Structure 1
Amino acid sequence: MIFKSGQSAEALPPCAQDIDFNRFGGPAMALRVGFGDDDTKVPEHRHAQGQLILALHGAVTCTAVGGLWLVPSGSAVWIPGGVPHSNQATHNARLIYLFVEPSESDLPPTCRSVSVSPMLREMILRLADVDHAAPDERTSRLMRVLLDELALMPNGGPVLPLTDHPKIALIAAALAADPADRRTLGEWARHVAVSERSLKRLMVKETGLTFSHWRRQLHLIIAVRELAGGATVQKVSGDLGYESVTAFIVMFKKALGVTPSRYRPHADLGSRQTA
């Protein structure tokens, strides 16, 4: 993982540890992050500070309490301070991590995908380029306006509901590890030792979705992430266990309104990244 900001990479603590804001002269700090082929997964960790993950290029999925969030290029996910979470980025992902002191903002206490306005995006990019150790008056004003704008961010982007119910969690973990697994609801019911009718009711109660809808949402999130990473439609279709590429294309277009080959995440901001 590569960090780029006003501080040297060597001076920055690992992302899985709390950021010491005493070393920085303001209520917020932004870091540019790039990934290599062998470091695209960030294991579960937590921060005392809230964190906004903004994708400049590629995509990242974030798993936390209650859901799996997709962050394609141009979008972001908000993670409140203290919430355990893990990330998986595409190998070409370039992100900005924005850390915010909880006492300095009115941001929500739960994770959510957010739509980032062009103005807010530019402010975050600007903050990533300043020297956090010695912010001037202009940078301090930028931080305050940025925090005010963050509190107004609208919801946006897909989320896959997750639950800590042991039977549903077991199925979710298995399908996340092997999304090509095509076991039916009845077969999963036998696997977790409940009746098919009970599992059907439990799935809706715990996630708000039917099993088929939940699995399709998982497939869409994985598909968008991998397509943003440069994977071919054929590879994604095979990885998700579709019998034919055509069946995958039909599912994708029905859900998102475009075919996988025409899908493009939000405007690519990779040209602004220096990693």
Structure 2
Amino acid sequence: MLAPTMPKGFDPDHHLDKVGAFHVKAEDSFHEVPRHKHRKGQLIVPLQGTITCHVEESIWMAPTGQAIWIPGHVIHSNQISSQAEFCFVFIDPGLATMPDECCTLRISSLLKELIFALAALPLSHYQTPEAQRLISVLLDQLVRQPSGKLQLPVSGHPKIKFLVDEMRKPGNVKYSAAYWAKTLALSERSFARLMVNETGLSFRPWRQQLQLLLAINQLVDGERVETIAHELGYESVTAFITMFKKALGTTPNQYRQRVAAPK
């Protein structure tokens, strides 16, 4: 049983010692946490639903079974799917050898249970020898977790920001580079240069990564695979399944079953 949710207005930089874990439930059907930062690093571990983290150069997403690592002092905002439930873990800088940049991590069952155990403790118990041993093992396991691939490179360029916002709307991701070049009042050559200069990717692999993020959100929300494939612009369900399996090592239905498994 997890402890009560993190109090409103809680500041991890002032109300915690070095490490803290909390259980959080989305209060609204769809909720966005505005841009902010904190000195401590933050691990976001979804238990149900998905969470998307926006930083200056990227959009990161973690469904159940993965987590987002946000280093200290990184400005970010979090977008939470309907009925989401997750854990926050705050870690003092230098306490564990974690990446200097945002990333997704695949979370083992052992690490998840350690996080649950810490989240169930009142803050007043954190200084006990038992809690300190728990924190030590948790940090030891955390630095061993492999990184994931659920990231979309973006930038602050106004045309890229517009592109991301528009392509995330239902049905829009299927449109071609020529369509978006015209929408942005650019030649196709200028649009191609803009994509590479601002994201590091040409349009097709960049769009495929966005399709993957959108597909995962829709799978978690219970949408049919056939409907997802059509909305993302794939000519066949088989082509969509092939892309998904190549990216994540599992089929869409297998992925859905895994993230829907009892917590």
TM-score norm. by structure 1 comes to 0.81
How big is the alpha-carbon RMSD for the aligned residues of Structure 1 and Structure 2?
Answer: 2.7
- 1:3-53 Cα distance to aligned partner (Å, 9 max, x none): x63xx55x7233xx63244x44x4111111122552433333222221101
SS at match of 1:133: helix
| Identical counterparts, % of pairs | 33
Distance in 2 of aligned mates of 1:86 and 1:128: 22
Match of 2:12 in 1: 19
- 1:221-248 Cα distance to aligned partner (Å, 9 max, x none): 111112112233455456x364xxx736
Match of 2:243 in 1: 255
SS at match of 2:256: coil
8 A contact 1:48–1:81 mirrored in 2 = yes
Structure 1 runs not aligned, ≥5 long:
none
Displacement of 1:181 in angstroms is 5.4
RCO higher in 1 or 2 (8 Å CA, sep ≥ 6)?
A: 1
From 97, 101, 105, the equivalent of 2:92 is 101
Match of 1:211 in 2: 203
From 130, 134, 154, the equivalent of 2:125 is 134
Q: Which moved more, 1:132-141 or 1:254-263?
A: 254-263
TM-score norm. by structure 2 comes to 0.84
Match of 1:154 in 2: 146
Distance in 2 of aligned mates of 1:268 and 1:139: 30
Aligned residues: 257
- 1:139-160 Cα distance to aligned partner (Å, 9 max, x none): 0121123223322322113211
Structure 2 runs not aligned, ≥5 long:
none
| Counterpart mapping for 1:108-127 below 5 A | 108-127=99-118
From 52, 55, 60, the equivalent of 2:46 is 55
Displacement of 1:62 in angstroms is 1.8
- 1:194-240 Cα distance to aligned partner (Å, 9 max, x none): 321121122123323221221222122111112112233455456x3
SS at match of 2:22: strand
Cα distance change on mapping 1:91 and 1:19 into 2, 3 Å: same
Distance in 2 of aligned mates of 1:144 and 1:151: 11
Displacement of 1:110 in angstroms is 0.5
